[in-house]
Structure 1
Amino acid sequence: MTYVTPSADRRRLAIDHHDQRGEFAALWLRERSPDADTLDPRTGQRLVEAAELPLELNIHSADVVDGQLYLHFSDGHHTDFDLDTLFDDQAIDPPKRLWNANNAPRPVANFADALQNDTALSDMLESLHRDGFVIVSGVPEETDGMQPLIDRIGPLRRTNWGGIADVKSVADAYDLTMTQRGLEPHTDNPYRDPIPGYIWLHCLTNAAEGGDSTLVDGLMAAQLLRERAPDAYSCLTRVTPSFRYRDDDTDLESEGPLIELDSRGEPVRVRYNNRTERVPALPPEELEVYYAARQAFYQLITGEELTLHLKLDPGQMLIMDNYRLLHGRSAFQLAGGVRHMRQGYVDRDSTASRRRVLQQQLATPQPQGEPA
């Protein structure tokens, strides 16, 4: 059964539909009316100027017939909503699965399958969204072997490093990534605006001693910090350090809190990059609080409780959510062999768009006689 109940001033409408309940503002329903007078049938873009609708707009009548909600507004407009669609429209992306070292997933995908099959590509992108990373096997052991799969999702993000760049030890390294040094868990390129969304790390050879990759779920770390040290958590959501990178040809700077919240007050992004962080000259008492909070967070993200250790084999690729996961590596010795990775970036918007469009396409029945 479905029940609709206008508020006393008729400017809100409570809807009980099966096992779902919601309260909707009349003005919100009016500006999202799914009719051709309000929304363009092809693009879904709004045709009326929402800011010109009367602020005192209310609902004259609301009726439900066969799963359709029929509304008559005080400005004379009539429209109807499919109730299932109305509630589906309130749904956000599927939830992320937070993890620690003990329950860490091992999401896997096959390069050729994802390249040739939309269902396999969709599964890979859903794993990436849910778990923050996915390990792809069967990547051609060539310099730009991952490029064809990137092309299936979105454009390669070019930076001052170029497109797909080498990650290996070199003489006179201009970045610590290019040394044999171990790297603490970190966010890549927090000095860019926007920060690259996804890191693609392709292994060509990994015979060196050491050089294991490490992953930490930064959102899990934020959640644990909120539970165990709420004052530290609050501090890291408020203080906004900057991050800066400079070389002979590049000068990049951006800023943001180590733990960023969304509109609901929930952690949505983490930043940590000891090498490039620049904390503002706050009053000493505020800096003391920040430094203690940062240390508490650091102890979490470097502890074995949250650290997943991986060693990629040649032909494997690790795709990581750079807004969520913190990644690092152990030091390596070239006496044991060569460690040669290739790395590229793909932005979040194109990745999220591809995932959602594939999901919608695969959920839509194909006409008979047409291949799926």
Structure 2
Amino acid sequence: MELYVEIIPDTDGRQLRVAWHDREVRYHALWLREHSPDAETLDPRTGQRLIEAAALPLDIALVEARQESETLRLVFSDGHRARFPLADLAGPPPVTERERWDASLSALPVADFDRAIDSDHALLDMLESLERFGFVKVRGVPLELEGMMPLVARLGPLRRTNWGGIADVKSIAEAFDLTMTQRGLEPHTDNPYRDPIPGYIWLHCLSNADSGGDSTLADGFMAAQRLRREHPDAFDCLTQTQVRFRYRDEEAHLESEGPLIELDSAGRVVRVRYNNRTERIPPLPPETLARYYAARRQFFALITSPALTLTPKLAPGEMLIMDNYRLLHGRTAFHLTQGVRHLRQGYVDRDTTASRRLTLRRQLAPVSSTGPQATESRESA
């Protein structure tokens, strides 16, 4: 890897220019010093810093910089010497591209339960699909109340809430409570009143309805992208207005706050919140509320649009894993002539899921790849 290296003149040795064939990066000398990859500075096993970065001299400078094979050799004004692998300076590791989708998505991401249990390669393929699309359908899940747990255990602990671990989502033909009825459910994200919000929803089907009862999925990132393009004022409003969400019963009082569309420091959408039942917008000035209500209506029109909605029906032994920061889910109304529509739902947090994916990617690269088994046609969904 050939590059151009120069300690930038007139910076007193405090800036380094590194130029590749396609781009140029400037590095602060103190940044390089505190990221020095030697065993005195960073723990070789964990990468944790062993020195106190805040105690380094603010005027630390570079006195020598040159390329040696696939490393960059640096000497600092405090006498420290370091060799940076050029690959580490070239940029962050590749990320899984998040594919925004709508109702035209021709193939759903799928995984096989037993293969994901037995094979790290299959598990990584499942997790990469989950990161790419925001959901994955898992087939072959045991028809047991705790059927999902062997796969959960491959990632990390089940997230427990005030409802326990895995909760029943059950409807019966002769319902006596609203939660057990056969009505449809509007698109929503789960539990925006929690801190942190659960990262992934695991929804395992034990039995389903005679007709209807299809899951509905909408890509919140696609909806936000379209809102940004078609109604930029509404997009700005929903990213800037802080909304409270609340759940309260005899044993719990849960509240949290955030915008319906959340951006990162680079302006990219990283989370959507939408839950009509628990939203509690504060009594903001009337003109602010008027703008918010109009923007929320436009966003709602998108997330309920047939053009953005998938309706996969879960059969017994199938499970959906959904990104609760991205996916809005619901269900169509259904009809039961007899029996019970019974699904089981649990949550797994984002940190353990991401850690497992990134660790497997590092351990298995470059041999894992998404094969033909990773998708299914809409006709067979």
TM-score by length of 2: 0.91
- Distance in 2 of aligned mates of 1:14 and 1:308: 49
Q: CA deviation at 1:304?
A: 1.1
1:335 aligned to 330, 334, 337, which one? Answer: 337
Off by >3 Å, runs of 4+ in structure 1: 17-21, 170-173, 176-179
Distance 1:177 1:266, change over 3 A: farther
SS in 2 for 1:54: coil
SS in 2 for 1:350: helix
Q: Which runs of 5+ in 2 are unaligned?
A: 368-381
What does residue 317 of structure 1 align with?
319
Q: Which runs of 5+ in 1 are unaligned?
A: 366-372
What does residue 224 of structure 1 align with?
226
CA-to-partner distance for each residue in 1:336-365, whole Å, 9 max, x for gaps? Answer: 653111111000000000111111111289
Deviates more, 1:142-151 or 1:334-343: 334-343
1:47 aligned to 43, 47, 50, which one? Answer: 50
In the alignment, is the contact (CA less than 8 A) between 1:209 and 1:337 conserved in 2?
no
- Distance in 1 of aligned mates of 2:289 and 2:130: 36
SS in 1 for 2:49: coil
2:77 aligned to 74, 79, 101, which one? Answer: 74
Q: What aligned pairs does 1:156-305 form with structure 2 within 5 A after superposition? A: 156-169=158-171, 173=177, 177-305=179-307
- Distance in 2 of aligned mates of 1:327 and 1:67: 48
What does residue 131 of structure 2 align with?
129
Q: CA deviation at 1:13?
A: 1.9
| Pair 1:34 & 2:37 matched | yes
Q: What amino acid is the match of 1:283?
A: P
1:84 aligned to 77, 87, 91, which one? Answer: 87
- Distance in 2 of aligned mates of 1:109 and 1:41: 35
Q: CA deviation at 1:61?
A: 1.6
Q: CA deviation at 1:269?
A: 0.4
Deviates more, 1:10-19 or 1:347-356: 10-19
CA-to-partner distance for each residue in 1:66-104, whole Å, 9 max, x for gaps? Answer: 01101112222211101012224x236322111111136
TM-score by length of 1: 0.93
- Distance in 2 of aligned mates of 1:13 and 1:108: 47
- Distance in 1 of aligned mates of 2:257 and 2:303: 20
In the alignment, is the contact (CA less than 8 A) between 2:209 and 2:334 conserved in 1?
no
- Distance in 1 of aligned mates of 2:278 and 2:181: 16
In the alignment, is the contact (CA less than 8 A) between 1:204 and 1:342 conserved in 2?
yes
What does residue 56 of structure 1 align with?
59
Distance 1:60 1:184, change over 3 A: same
Q: What amino acid is the match of 1:65?
A: E
In the alignment, is the contact (CA less than 8 A) between 2:137 and 2:321 conserved in 1?
yes
In the alignment, is the contact (CA less than 8 A) between 1:150 and 1:156 conserved in 2?
yes
Q: CA deviation at 1:30?
A: 1.0
- Distance in 1 of aligned mates of 2:32 and 2:176: 61
2:112 aligned to 94, 110, 113, which one? Answer: 110
Q: What amino acid is the match of 2:57?
A: P
In the alignment, is the contact (CA less than 8 A) between 1:191 and 1:244 conserved in 2?
yes
- Distance in 2 of aligned mates of 1:197 and 1:172: 31
Give the aligned length: 362
- Distance in 1 of aligned mates of 2:113 and 2:179: 26
- Distance in 1 of aligned mates of 2:110 and 2:146: 21
Q: What amino acid is the match of 2:104?
A: N
What does residue 146 of structure 1 align with?
148
- Distance in 1 of aligned mates of 2:202 and 2:104: 25
